[in-house]
Every structure is written in structure tokens, then in C-alpha cells.
Chain A
Amino acid sequence: MRPLPLPDQDTAFFWEGTAQRKLLILRCEACGSYVHYPKPACPLCGAASLTPTEVSGRGHVHTFTVTHRAVPGFEQPFVVAMIELDEQPGLRLISNVIGVEPDAVSIGMRVEVTFQPAADDVWLPVFRPEAGR
């Protein structure tokens, strides 16, 4: 079985969100920037007021790797990608691209979030090719 997240005070909102099939990213109330990974302060302006904000879940593959080595819970090969969300240049999540052959994944490919159950209380945000493309 794949490794599972161990939420803490800074990150619990993210996993509570995915459990409700919502992708929540912190947004700085002072400068408006989205911030991932979750932090107690904005790395761009230093302000300490960050609010979990639902995002569209749409974006593109900024870069990726197709992993052939054994990792518990994964069938080889599988795709690990940096997904850049539409909300902000450089706002990226590490995730998987599913629903497409690994060989067909490319930089720039449009993707959208979908939620995958990983354990009773854990849903993981993974990405598939955007519908209608």
C-alpha cells in the first residue's frame, strides 16, 4: 500500500478538503498569493494570515518523470508530475497523471484534478487529461 499523509496543524485543512473532494490551497490575505506547501506565513510577503481557498483543480504538466523502480503501492511504470495550477504561475503540486499511458504524458498537457481513495479517511488529489480535449 502506498505511503499516506500524516497531517499536522499546518496541513490538516488540505486533507480535510480532499476528503470532501475539494482542492484547497492557502491564499495570503495580504498579497493575494497562493501558497503551497502549507506554511504558517506567506513566503512571498511574510504575512501570517493565510486562508484555505478552493481552486479550480485545472492546470498543466510543468514537468514529469515516469518511474520504473518499485515503490510500495504503485504498479510500474507510473507518472510523477509537477502540476502547475491555472490560478498562479509557479503554483505547483506533486501528483500523479492517471487515465493515460505514461508514454503519452508530455510537458504542457492540460489536466484536471480527480480524487482517489487511498484509505478510509484519505483521498488523494491526482490528475487526468482535461475533459473535452
Chain B
Amino acid sequence: MTLRDIAIAGVGCSEIVRASDRSVTALTLDACRAALADAGLGPAHVDGMATYPGAPDSIACFAVVEGLGIPGLRWFEDIAGWAPAAVAPVIAAADAVARGSCETALVFRSTKRNRDRPPGFASAARIGGDNQFRAPFGDTMTSQWLAMWARRHMYEHGTTEEHLGHIAVTFRRHAILNQRAPLRDPITLEDYFASRMVTTPFRLLDCDFPVDGAGAVVITTLARARDLPHPPVQVLGGAMTTGTRPDWDQWPDLTTMASKRCADELWARTGLQPHDVNVAEIYDGFSWLALCWLEDLGFCAKGEGGPFIAEGNIALGSRLPTNTHGGSLSAGRLHAITHVIECVEQLRGAAAERQVPGAEVGVVSAGGGTMAGAALLARAR
């Protein structure tokens, strides 16, 4: 089988809130049960599993096997380390089903913030690895890396803070229509400019925010998915890419991320082109990431992302509705699993007030800087 013979048959979420009183394991199991119920399947049908545990704020596959009472797995993968977040286990699971390693895989991403351990480094901590060349200079946050890429993009292409503001405002407008999004108060460009500066050019409203919650999807063969309750969402193709250097500051051209290579792979492998895509759910851990993904995916020319956004091309009702659930910026930092779930709901025609009319093909992506992952999904014919 190839990826085109694979489908997403179920999706589900736990509560997604700023601070949950439930454990990360309980949240994860909620999402996995919801996704299985959505697919019309039970724990005994699951024979594969993958997750992106990311930082130690989540759990591994084994905890879900035990928690759901799954008899056993034929394939599983905890995708630790530097990877395009929740898109990585989706692609891995689709590949695993396609090659016959398993028939039905559960994919999840869950997070719960450790409130006893503040982010960043302790005073006078001794820092090893590559961070020894960053942390002593106060470069301790991902926001700073991306801010420097965004600044370079502004310098080379004339992108403005107002362009970034339009991203935050547009995604918030979408979040208002999404009951699952924790941030649903309307914001204006004035609110954007009034939000406090974190690290130039990023204000608070350029940054996603931590949430406690989980999302899960069920991946199986398209043939099997056709017998399940919802219209199957076919996986047309997926790609994960890097450049040579892992270090974000050694990347040759800071205005074009690994997402360019990822997009080139995706279009080449599927034979599709940007104009075939009706809805985009792309990674926006920081506003500028979405702008760069739009350019790298070819929805507009390099450097034209700012004007493309400011002209209204990513809002619901426009040419390319983007992050129709509110994105990470308004729906919370779940590292793109909710982007995948939203894309599936759009392609099923089940996105309620957020529905993009006639959506047939969607793109999901995660990652930024030196690594990227993306997949093209479609309503199965």
C-alpha cells in the first residue's frame, strides 16, 4: 500500500484549558477514547501507536496501552527529540499502516505544564550541549530564535509588525467560532500593538500559550475507514525534512525554513499544487512561522507573505482559510495535533460555523526553522 491507501478515521480531544486539575495521563486517555469512539472502534482494534512526547510534559505510548486496556501493539513509536511535533507521529503511523506494520494506529499529543518547574534555566546553572553557546547570553527561549528569523525576514523583504498582527487577529477571529479554543475574546490590531513586548519583534500576541490537554487521531487503511461512521480523510502524502545543520543560527538563509524543502517534497510526491488546497492548518507556535510556511508552501511568493495576509487571504471566506480553529496562537500549544484534527473536521464537512464550503484538500504542517513536516489530506472520493 502507499500513503494514498491510508485514512484518518477518527479524531478526538480532551478538555483543552489553561490549567487542568486532571493528570496528563487522564487527559491523554480522554482524547484517545474520544478518537476511538469517533472512529467507531474500541481499544481491541488498536494495534499501532505513535506520539510526540516532546519535552517531559507528556506520556509515552505504553501508558495509553495500559490505560485503555489494549491487548498489545504490533508497532509503536515514541518520537523523542527534535522532530516536527505532532505531524511526525501522524506521518509515521500512516507509513506504518501502509507498509503493513499495523492496521489501526492511535496517534496522540498531550501536554500538561509542570507548574513547579518554571521555564528557562536556574540562576548560575551550568548548561551543556549546544545551549552552552546560547544560554550564557540570555538566549534561553525559542521565541528569541524565531524573533531573529522574523527580524531578518523584515530586513530582507519589508515584512512589518502589522503583518504579524494581522495573523494574530485573523486566527483569533477563527477561534471565536471554535468552542474548544481557550482564547475567544475578539482582538484588534490596536490590542495587538498594546500587548507587551516579549522579544522584538514578537509581542505576547505573536506567541502561542501553554495549555493542558490532549488530541488524538485514528489512522487505518482507507478500505477499512470506508466501513466506519465518518467520511474517510485520505492521506495524500507526507514529508519530513531537514537541512545540513541543526543549529538555528547556522542556517544559511533565515528567511526560508526547512519547510521549503518539505513543501517541494510534498508537491512532487503528490502531484498537487498550492492552488489545489482549500484549507491550511499550519504551524504557528509564533505568528511569523505561519507567514513563512505560507511562503514556503508556495501559496504566495517568498517575501510576499505579509501583504498576502494583510490583504485578507487567510481568513475564513477568503482564498485560503488558514488555522480555522484559531491555530496555536488562540487554540493553544498542542504542537499541531489540533491542526490535524481541525483539518479532518473541515474535510469531513463537519466544522460547523467554521466550515470552509466544499473543502476537499487540506494541508497540515508542524516544525519550523531547521526541520519541518507536512501532510496533504483529502476528503476520500
Contacts and interface: CB of A to CB of B under 8 A. Distances in A.
A51 B121 CA distance: 31
B55 interface: no
B125 A4 contact: yes
Contact of A72 (B122, B149, B252): B122
B271 interface: no
B250 A36 contact: yes
A13 interface: no
B139 interface: yes
A78 B198 CA distance: 11
B138 A2 contact: yes
Contacts of B201: 65
A43 B245 contact: yes
Nearest to A62: B152
A80 B148 contact: yes
Interface in A91-125: 92-96, 107, 118-119, 122, 124
B151 A69 contact: no
Contacts of B250: 36-37, 90, 92
Interface stretch (B37-45, B128-136, B314-322, B371-379): B128-136
A63 interface: yes
Nearest to A1: B124
A78 B152 CA distance: 18
Given A3-B125, A72-B120, A72-B121, A11 B151 contact: no
Contacts of A96: 137-138
B114 interface: no
A65 B121 contact: no
Contacts of A126: 137
Nearest to B251: A90
A47 interface: no
A65 B136 contact: no
B121 A90 contact: no
Interface residues of A, number: 42
B135 A63 contact: no
B140 A65 contact: no
Contact of B199 (A65, A92, A94): A65
Contact of A3 (B136, B149, B254): B136
Classify chain B: how many residues form its interface, as a range: 35 or more
Nearest to B151: A63
Interface in A23-63: 36-37, 43-44, 62-63
B18 interface: no
B127 interface: yes
B126 interface: yes
Contacts of A74: 138
Contacts of B82: none
A78 B147 CA distance: 14
B272 interface: no
A71 B138 CA distance: 6
A122 B126 CA distance: 11
A67 B123 contact: no
A132 interface: no
A72 B123 contact: yes
Nearest to B244: A43
B119 to A, nearest CB: 10
Interface of B: 120-130, 132-141, 143-144, 147-149, 151-152, 155, 196-202, 244-245, 247, 249-250, 252, 254
Interface of A: 1-8, 11, 14, 36-37, 43-44, 62-69, 71-74, 78, 80-82, 90, 92-96, 107, 118-119, 122, 124, 126
21 contacts: A1-B124, A3-B126, A3-B135, A5-B132, A5-B135, A5-B136, A8-B128, A11-B132, A62-B254, A65-B151, A66-B197, A66-B200, A67-B144, A67-B198, A67-B200, A80-B138, A80-B139, A80-B148, A81-B148, A94-B133, A124-B137
